[in-house]
Structure 1
Amino acid sequence: MNTLAKTILEHTEGLPEGAPFCAKELLHLGSRAAVDQALSRLVKRGQLMRISRGAYVRPVESRFGKRAPSAAQVVEQIAHITGEAIAPHGAAVANKLGLTTQVPVRSVYLTSGRNRKLKLGSQVVELRHAPRWQFAVGNQPSGEVLRAVAWLGPEQAGAALRALKRKLSASELQAIAAARSVLPAWLAKQVSEVVVNG
């Protein structure tokens, strides 16, 4: 293994599990062509994984061999690095909260950034741009409720909010009510009727 590839691997050892890095971060080690070539060799050897154009991650090594880091870890690290708001898609949250029995086939996250796909081994993780109001309450339980109810749509929103109202704490209900000013009109109306006045 040449010294550049070895230096790149040493650089990745200090990163948290699932933390992506890009080729541009390594340009202090050599020319762009040399860095790209070293990264390409490391991917072919299975020592790095290419998750998207110019972005890489170190595979997780266990006693069963190498595997891709979990999608949640990679997405969390991307949010930390880029400053984007990233949260699980409403369909996944609705399933988690027991509002639907549908299990999402694909791993989809909402982001305040641009649309893109990440390849983690055989799994494709999709990051979809979403409006700002989807992140109004963040990744708290109250934010998950809003994303799940938004995914269910106007017809099922009231019933879903009534079912979840019993499970949420007073502070979580208050956070949902406080977000009404940024929600779409149909969702703000349902929150007012069920959470505030119900």
Structure 2
Amino acid sequence: MKRARTGGRGSVFTPADFLDMAGRAAVDQALSRLAKGGRLRRLVRGLYDFPKVHPELGPLSPGPDDVARALARETNSRVQIAGARAANALGLSTQVPAKNTYLTDGPSRRVVLGKRIVYLRHASPKHLIAPGSAAGTVVQALRHLGAMRAADVARVAALRLSASDKKALATSAVQAPAWMRPTLVSIAMSGAVDGKVRRSRRVNE
């Protein structure tokens, strides 16, 4: 229970997160006892959380990102939000998808949590660019929205990505489809261009 608490309320985990403490059978029994005692919550078979509790609504549903990351840890794989979820994360869409899709280099898995679905879809390396990073989210949002909204993606990403995120994007751009590369490069270069303009202004002043 102490280990479960370290992630704070809302953390999600699988038995694999505790296998450094005991064998699988012992971990399964301990988690089962804690769930039956109400200290943890069993979401589905092999997936638990330490839920956030609303004073009026009671235990809240876990965040899909937390669920996806827990599933990825179980198989020692990487995961990246994709599709409508990626666009929503960047503020490029107000749509809150019922099906939250993630790309992974691990096995595919589908978890139903009430009305929400978390779907991990196995993807080849060429589709899993900069997984688990803000740069990867930009690539997936651009893939979802398409060339027609590339300018919108560039505008938002240029403002939201840190310098290190842009550097990662510049490194990863070569792996993206040809139609994406100019947009990704323009995002990656936006900080450098702005910096040059600011320096030029200071010199002129």
Q: Scaled by the length of structure 1, what TM-score is found?
A: 0.65
Call closer, same or farther: CA 1:150–1:26 in 2, change over 3 Å.
same
The CA distance in 1 between the partners of 2:73 and 2:129, in whole Å, is: 18
For the structure 1 residues 91 and 27, does the alpha-carbon distance in structure 2 shift closer, same or farther, using more than 3 Å as the test?
same
User: Which residue of the other structure, out of 20, 43, 57, is the alignment partner of 2:48?
Assistant: 57
**Alpha-carbon offset, residue 193 of structure 1:** 6.7
Counterpart in the other structure of 2:100: 107
Task: Check conservation: 2:173, 2:181, Cα contact below 8 A.
Answer: yes
After TM superposition, give the deviation of residue 68 of structure 1 in Å: 4.5
**Which of 160, 163, 178 is residue 155 of structure 2 equivalent to?**
163
**1:26 counterpart residue number:** 24
Specify the alignment match of 2:80 in structure 1: 87
Give 2:12's aligned amino acid: G
Segments of structure 1 that go 5 or more residues without pairing to the other structure are 1-11
Three-state SS of the structure 1 residue aligned to 2:12 is coil
- Secondary structure at the aligned position of 1:18 is classed as strand
Q: After TM superposition, give the deviation of residue 59 of structure 1 in Å.
A: 5.4
- Identity in percent: 27
- 1:195 shift after superposition: 5.3
Number of equivalences: 176
State the superposition RMSD in angstroms: 3.8
1:109-188 correspondence to structure 2 within 5 Å: 109-157=102-150, 159-164=151-156, 166-167=158-159, 168-188=161-181
Cα offset for 1:67? 4.8
- The TM-score with structure 2 as length reference comes to 0.63
Deviation at 1:147, TM superposition (A): 1.3
CA offsets per residue over residues 132-190 of structure 1, 9 Å max, x none? Answer: 24443233322221111111123333x23442354144543332222122112222254
Aligned counterpart, 2:71: 78
Gaps of 5+ in 2: 194-205
